[in-house]
Amino acid sequence: MAKAASLMTDTTFTSRLLGSAWPGHFNRPTAEAMYENIKKVGLPQWSEEDQILAKALQRELKVPVKGLVTKIQELRPPRVQQEDTGGEGQNVGPTGGGSDDIGDVSWNVPTVTLRFPSNIPGGPGHNWANGIAMATPIAHKGVIAGAKVQAMTMLDILLHPELVEKAWDYFRNIQTKDVKYTSFLRPDDKPAIWLNKKTMDEYRPRMKTMYYDPSKYSTYLEQLGIKYPTVKTADTGGSADSKP
Amino acid sequence: MRKLSLAVLICLPVAFAQPKVAPDKENAMKADLAGQIDAMKKQAQVMVDSVFSFGELGFQEFETSKYLTGILENEGFKIERGIAGIPTAWVASWGVGKPVVSLGSDIDDIPQASQKPGVAWHDPLIEGAPGHGEGHNSGVPLNIIAALAVKKVMEREHLKGTIRLWPGVAEELVGTKAYYVRAGLFKDVDIVLFTHVGSNLGVSWGPTTSNGLVSIEYMFKGESAPRRGSAMARPKRARRRGTHGCGLELPPRTYAPGAALALCDHEWRRPAQCSASDCIGLVLLP
């Protein structure tokens, strides 16, 4: 396409690669082992304040007002539409989800991605709205639940060599039986480490003045002087029964 | 063929020697992990909040990486920085031998997504600044908490194995993991446990919806169209034929939408003011 544009406009061109990603493929035996730990750990206990914030944001975004999740997601086989998980790339095959370069890793070693509940359902993703929960008790509780699952699955791998064998058997004999990884990188491609420097140079001095100082403040919310949750007056009475 | 098969068999993962643990003890070890992690709530909150406040875009995660590697270094992890030629990339390792469990999660954030936490409407901390609008402030703290808990159990129970942690630098640009692969970051890894924020606790297997993607910047060198018209129409044909009506009559002062301009020996003129021999091409303005 670039060559055609060049011919049309009587120009010459050069190119450089900025990024690349393979579609992902996650490992079945490892996911099944991890799911057993997910069932053991379960979801965090959300407070009334957590739910009020979640529902207020959902009202603001005009999405179904369901609050935070209270039931863990089923482990489902691939190519079945799943519920909104607040992130991209876990649904129905490479048919339109966002790209994620964990895909490259997943074609080189058995890989799974644990999703943990630190965010509010219904957010658009890659947006200010998906930052609202991320330094609140919702994020903190989600991280603790996720860390437990991650740690227990690590222990499974340490204690059960047969899990590693099954993971590699799936990787070799099912996942990569017909599809072999070839990097999109050309030999001379280099990471685009210059990207975003200008933007960070512009904003970093002001951002530095707002870095969290845990020696002075219990939480970042406290440092910022934000009452938790801060919602519009009409949202303060939100209850678990609120309807969209 | 037989030799090849034998070679492949030898390359299969070798079962690692680990003391056999009874199911009851394994359950107790998992309960111990959960208890330890509950006891690290404060540490998790500080890490999550700190990285949120750093709010760095892809390839510029200097504060984030310095902070996270500092924590891991203090906990006895060996840090290798500048992985794959990426200044903000690193690998933290602890332990010996197999299995090698590799924990990854992204650390970069989103342009113009600055947002006050805990406030249920759009209210930037700094107008126009980047912010963690994809929650990448939480995954590596999660992995660190998990790794510290498992490390304690490994030390106490004399379990063999290696824990590795690494950050997804510039994930929003799909900018680094293919380079990690090329640099051999996963060549001796048994299993990667990646993690990403969501709104539920879950895991899946098989192919994902993620599309393959290649992001390429093309730089064109040539003469640019100086006004709001698009690229010059058929310049070579126009020059060769020299008949593209540069003598076309247009109403006066018609550099307005719908008018045409002639590229006349490297200058833009009204077509009527350009002789056919100088006329390189015509552009119809939108």
Quote the mean pLDDT of chain A: 89
Q: Are A157 and A163 in contact (CB under 8 A)?
A: yes
For residue B111, what are the CA distances in angstroms to A227, B102, B116, B197?
A: 26, 29, 15, 18
- Phi/psi of residue B204, nearest 5 degrees: -135, 170
- Chain B residues lying within 8 Å of A188, measured CB to CB: none
Share of chain A above pLDDT 90, in %: 78
Confidence of residue A79 (pLDDT cuts 50, 70, 90): low
Whole-angstrom Cα distance, residue A240 to residue A68?
9
**Is the separation of the CB atoms in B271 and B260 below 8 Å?**
yes
Structure tokens at A134: 């991320």
pLDDT at B16 (0 to 100): 67
B276 touches chain A (CB under 8 A): no
Q: Is the pLDDT of residue A80 over 70?
A: no
Tell me the residue ranges of DSSP E strands in chain A.
Answer: 12-21, 25-26, 111-117
Test A147 with B179 for CB contact under 8 angstroms: no
CA distances, B26 to each of B31, B153, B154 (Å) = 9, 11, 12
B136 vs chain A: nearest CA distance in angstroms? 9
Cα(B100)–Cα(B82) distance, integer angstroms: 21
- Which of B53, B99, B216 is the closest to A15 by Cβ? B216
pLDDT attached to residue A96: 58
Is the model's pLDDT at A84 over the cut of 80? no
Q: What is the pTM of this model?
A: 0.83
Nearest to B120 among A119, A132, A220 (CB): A132
The average pLDDT across A152-159 equals 98
**Higher-scoring residue by pLDDT: A68, A79:** A68
User: Is pLDDT at A37 greater than 70 in this prediction?
Assistant: yes
Predicted complex ipTM:
0.91
Residues of A in contact with B59 (CB under 8 A): 191-197
- At residue B2, the pLDDT reads 40
> Mean pLDDT of successive 10-residue segments in chain B (286 residues)?
40 62 96 98 98 98 98 98 98 98 98 98 98 98 98 97 98 96 98 98 90 85 58 39 38 46 66 70 57
Three-state DSSP class for B92? strand
Model confidence at A234: pLDDT above 80? no
Per-residue model confidence (pLDDT) at position A2: 72
Contact across the interface for B85 and A190, Cβ inside 8 Å: yes
Contact residues, chain B, for A132 at CB < 8 Å: 115-120
* pLDDT value of position B220: 83
As a whole number, mean pLDDT of residues A90-96 equals 49
Q: Please write down the long-range contacts of B260-268, taking CB distance under 8 Å and 24 or more positions apart.
A: B260/B284, B260/B285, B261/B227, B261/B229, B261/B285, B263/B232, B263/B235, B266/B223, B268/B226, B268/B227
Averaged pLDDT for residues A216-238: 89
Residue B16 and residue B98 in contact, taking contact as beta carbons nearer than 8 Å: yes
Average pLDDT over residues A148-157: 98
The partner residue sitting opposite B52, judged by closest CB among A117, A135, A150, is A135
pLDDT confidence of residue B234: 39
CA distance A244 to chain B (A): 16
State residue A140's pLDDT score. 98
Q: What pLDDT score does B230 carry?
A: 45
Distance CA B79, CA B81 (A): 6
Residues of B in Cβ contact (< 8 Å) with A30: 191, 193, 205
B chain contacts of residue A193, beta-carbon cutoff 8 Å? 59, 85-87
Nearest-angstrom CA–CA distance, B108 and B51 = 10
Q: Which residue in the set B84, B150, B197 is minimally distant from A151, CB to CB?
A: B150
The answer to whether B122 faces chain A, any CB pair under 8 Å, is: yes
Helical H runs in B55-121? 62-74
Cα A131 from chain centroid (whole Å): 12
Chain A: residue whose CA lies nearest to B116: A132
Q: Is B82 helix (H, G, I), strand (E, B) or coil?
A: coil
Q: Which residues of chain B have a CB within 8 Å of the CB of A35?
A: 203
Residue B125 at interface with chain A, using a CB cutoff of 8 Å: yes
CB of A105 within 8 A of CB of B177?
yes
Chain A contact set for B140 (CB, 8 A):
none
> What's the mean pLDDT in A17-43?
96
The pLDDT value recorded for residue B155 is 97
Dihedral angle over CA of B200, B201, B206, B211, nearest 10: 40
